[in-house]
Structure 1
Amino acid sequence: MRFLLIWWQLDVLADIAQLVSLLGLLPVLVLVADWVRSRRPAEADAGGALDELVRTIGEASDRVERSMVRQDALGAGLLEMRERLGEAAIRLAAERQALRDDLAARERLAAAVTADDRERRRLRAEVERLHDDLRSARQRLADTERLHGEVQRRLDESERLRAQADERAADARRRLAELAGRTGKGKSPRADLPVPVITARELMGEDDQRVAEEILRRVDHALEREAAALEEVGDDLSAIGPAEPGRDISRHRKARARMAAAALLAGVLLVGLTIATTAAENPEPKQPSHPVRAPFGALVGRPLDDHESDVRAVAFGQVAGVPVAVSGGSDHHVRVWDLARGEQRGPLLSGHTGDVLAVAFGEVDGVPVAVSGGTDGTVRVWDLAKGTQLGPALEGHTDSVTAVAFGEVDGVPVAVSGGTDGTVRVWDLVRNEQRDPAVEGDIGSVVAVGVGEVDGASVIVSGGSTGRSRVWDPRSRDWHDRALGADVESAYTMAFGQIDGVPVVVSGGSDGGVRVWDLVSGRRVGPTLAGHDGSVLALAFGEVDGVPVAVSGGSDDTVQVWDLAKGARRGVALTGHADDVYAVTFGRLDGAPIVVSGGLDNTLRVWSLGS
């Protein structure tokens, strides 16, 4: 029994020793062992076991200490590894961002290279076109010189005929004198008296003679200028190339326009002389300034040429019952034209500090207004009755305003504008402020905007240079993006309308084709309408005799009309502009359909669309 007690005590002491060793209290355990040994001298036989126990406890303590040292070293290693992993994570994040930046830079470089290739192709085509213009200009100069020579030859012939008439008259008087002398009847008339012979020059009248002489003087001056301009064009063409994308080509266009003007002056002179020589026998009634119900494609009145630079935008409307055209151009002005009289109406509307790229017509509280936008990034509203600006400029766009439209939303007159900043903005024309935040979308630069209705609800439509259009509800600001097909790489212009109640958009671009798209499904309607020999730069939608038509203007200097029901061109191309046609609009004059066009030749022209 005593042995069991001792064994139990020893076993308990061993457990206590392990616990104390784990707790780092080995010195205390040694003291406890010494105390136990001193209290039990009779149990000396157990001392050896106790010593063994103490030794075992010491070895366990050593193992525990070595384990703790290893654990401390492991913890320090783990801590160092954690720090290294943190540093590696930071380096990895930096490298990832650097890769993203590099990828974005490569994408921008690829886009720039693509744009540069397009610009190089465009410049190459422009150079080829300038070469063609040079050949045409040389031909026109030769024709002008030939016409000038023909005019001079006719004048010389007229003088020769007059001299022959004078000689014949003198000879007749001499014969009459001889006859009178032989018969003795009366006094013989003097042979040196002039005979009143009516020549072609006298038949023209003093006013016509002054006009003809002035035309001849102008033709001589024009020939001198065109000789210098032709030499200048040749020098510029020899220097221009794809490596100079910033080359200004306006001088070539002006030279071509001046040559055309010289040829026109010579032609007018020939026609004037021909009419003058036959005026006594075939009098012609005076024609009105604009024929009523003129045939299709006829030019109505004279070209309106008061703009001092390119005409970039035009819209049709009525002011006090008078049909008018509103135009804007690179001279920074907005002008109003009386189409019945064929002249400018009212003062210049000045305020823009850059080119005027877009105009629209409407009414605010019964007052006819025009809305304009330009490269100064502003939208301006003009009172056409007073010829003044309504309120301050509407600012918000961060780049050029390239499209404007007029309409109503919830009964409130609004203007919608779009620009190269990729945004569309709606302006309350009563409060003269922006109605809602701008709408942005992945459609590129905005080239066209419109206001209409779909299922009785007001909608706003915008089209972009990427060939996409967006239809959105101005109340809920919900929108639907519409792709206009894979074959539309870039759209220069769009127009909106309806065919049999279906909303459609008409697009035109660099390939010279005109396409019609269902605005709901995004699918193309009918074939591509091909006819322009160059880019399509302007479009308008309208109706002629109940048939939906589109009219287009292009870089080939022509205006073309398209029957959207038949999917074919209506009539022939309308020619007369001497440079790119950048603006077209529909209207009515004396109840007949017309088209007003404007272009880089600084003119507006009115065309009849009658049958």
Structure 2
Amino acid sequence: MTEPVTLPGGSGEPAALAAAGTTVVCGTGKGVVLSWDVNAAVTRLGDGGGAASSVAVGDLAGRRVAASGHADGGMRLWGLPGGSLEDHRANDPVIAVTVGDRAVAVSQKYDGLRDLHSVVRLWDISTGKQIGPAITDHFQGVHGLAFGRLDGQGVLVTGDGAERVRVRRLSNGRQTHSFPTGEIGGIELLACGEVKGRPVVVSTHLDATLRVYDLKSGKRRKKWAFSDQSPDDRGATALVVGLLGDLPIAAVAHAPAGGEVIVRVWDLDRGDIVGVLGSGEGGAIRRLALAELDGRPVIAGADDDGGLRVWSLGPA
């Protein structure tokens, strides 16, 4: 673990985290967006508007950029190491952003007291234009969301209150297929990755389980309980998936009600816990991302005291 780097004063509490290579991007509850090169200092990119709900970082048109989505509908592109590139607004709160073949934001309109289904829209962040038609089939709103790749194309993967997972192309918003999780235990979080060369979606559930589904067929491949205290330790705040060399891993931040927040790193092939991260002096780690340090994979985390730090995952 490295020594924590503290966010500049007045930035607010970390609300969203993403990483690519050595670059970590953090969005806060005050709407501030910051970047951190794990070998250098934290840079304030700017104020994106309402509270940050999601951030992303990647290469777009040959340039490294960050994206941020905000509770007031703001969707922003930022140049790295600094500078605002695009500033647009969706009709509804933005719940997720990604940078891949294009920069895409996902917004959702949902009132849990009045609506059975939410209204979800995809947006091109670079132009502010909507991608495809509005999506109205998420019962009780979106429960878990991830971006991945399937058959060479970028996809949006979402869950809902009916425990159904849907897969849509990011290029046009069209659904390719859907599948039920098939068991009790509502969907909390989703993340996309690969196991033995096959695309998968990894999920956490309200019964305190971690599951792996084949992204193309929807077949469940694995299921594990968080601990021997499951389901009493239900409550996940972050889920990231990647590779440690050839080993597929998932890092999960567990935050059970009334219990200690703990981060466990899972081997997605065997189901073994290969690492446990303590909270350290800065408090509980509730936001996670996968980054690199000196060519090796590391976990980046944001703690309750506004600190950013990384943990080594061992040799790649």
TM over 0.5, yes or no?
Answer: yes
- Residue 401 of structure 1 contacts residue 420 of structure 1 at CA under 8 Å; is this kept in 2? no
Which structure has the bigger radius of gyration? 1
Say what the alpha-carbon RMSD is for the aligned residues. 2.5
Match of 1:373 among 69, 76, 80: 69
Task: Note if 1:317 corresponds to 2:20.
Answer: yes
**Aligned equivalents of 1:423, 1:391: Cα separation in 2:** 24
| Paired residues for 1:270-285 under 5 Å | none
The two structures have a TM-score, normalised by structure 2, of 0.83
Question: In the alignment, what sits opposite 1:390?
Answer: 85
Report if aligned partners of 2:86, 2:125 keep a CA contact under 8 Å in 1: no
- Structure number with the higher helix fraction is 1
Aligned partners of 1:518 and 1:406: how far apart in 2?
23
1:530 aligns with 2:214: no
Match of residue 15 from structure 1: none
Whichever residue aligns with residue 393 of structure 1, its letter is: H
Residues 441, 429 of structure 1: alpha-carbon distance in 2 compared, 3 angstrom cutoff: same
Gaps of 5+ in 1: 1-298
CA shift digits 1:530-580 (9 cap, x unpaired): 138441111011000210001111213222110011111113343327555
Contact 1:560 1:574 in 2 (8 A): no
TM-score by length of 1: 0.45
SS at match of 1:596: strand
**Could you say if the C-alpha distance between residues 302 and 606 of structure 1 is closer, same or farther in structure 2, counting changes exceeding 3 Å?**
same
Residue of 183, 203, 208 corresponding to 1:507: 203
2:296 matched residue in structure 1:
592
Q: What is the deviation of 1:442?
A: 2.3
C-alpha spacing 1:514/1:310, structure 2 compared with 1 (3 Å) = farther
Report deviation, 1:435.
Answer: 2.7
1:344 aligns with 2:37: no
- SS of 1:435's partner is strand
Provide the rounded CA distance (Å) in 1 between the counterparts of 2:55 and 2:5. 20
User: Among 545, 557, 571, which residue is 2:245 paired with?
Assistant: 545
State the number of aligned residues. 297
**Alpha-carbon deviations, 1:116-168, whole Å to 9, x = none?**
xxxxxxxxxxxxxxxxxxxxxxxxxxxxxxxxxxxxxxxxxxxxxxxxxxxxx
Identity, in percent, stands at 30
Q: Distance in 2 between matches of 1:476 and 1:369?
A: 23
SS, match of residue 431 in structure 1: coil
**Residues in 1 aligned to 2:269 and 2:129: alpha-carbon distance in whole angstroms:** 40
Counterpart Cα distance in 1 of 2:23 and 2:308: 12
Amino acid corresponding to residue 405 of structure 1 in structure 2: T
Q: Distance in 2 between matches of 1:449 and 1:577?
A: 31
Q: How far has the Cα of 1:608 moved from its partner?
A: 0.8
**CA deviation digits over 1:471-508, x for unaligned, max 9?**
1244482432221232222x332111121232211112
Whether contact under 8 Å (1:324, 1:336) holds in the other structure is yes
- Cα 1:382–1:423 shift into 2, 3 Å: farther
8 Å Cα contact 1:557-1:578 kept in structure 2: no
Query: Residue in 2 aligned with 1:301?
Result: 3
Q: Take 1:351 and 1:457, find their aligned partners in 2: how far apart are those partners?
A: 29
- Give 1:585 shift: 0.9
- The 1:369–1:585 alpha-carbon spacing in structure 2 relative to 1, beyond 3 Å, is same
Q: Larger strand proportion, structure 1 or 2?
A: 2
**What secondary structure is seen at the aligned counterpart in 2 of 1:488?**
coil
Q: Deviations over 1:351-375 (max 9, x none)?
A: 31x2112101122222221111122
CA distance in 2, matches of 1:459, 1:350: 29
Residue 174 of structure 2 is aligned with which of 465, 477, 496? 477
The 1:364–1:572 alpha-carbon spacing in structure 2 relative to 1, beyond 3 Å, is closer
Q: 1:449 to 1:572 in 2, by over 3 A?
A: closer
Greater relative contact order (Cα 8 A, min sep 6): structure 1 or 2? Answer: 2
Distance 1:513 1:434, change over 3 A: same
> Residues 66 and 80 of structure 2 are in contact (CA less than 8 Å); yes or no, is this contact kept in structure 1?
yes
- Cα distance in structure 2, aligned partners of 1:475 and 1:514: 30
Does structure 1 conserve the Cα–Cα contact (< 8 Å) formed by 2:69 and 2:105?
no
Counterpart in the other structure of 2:56: 360
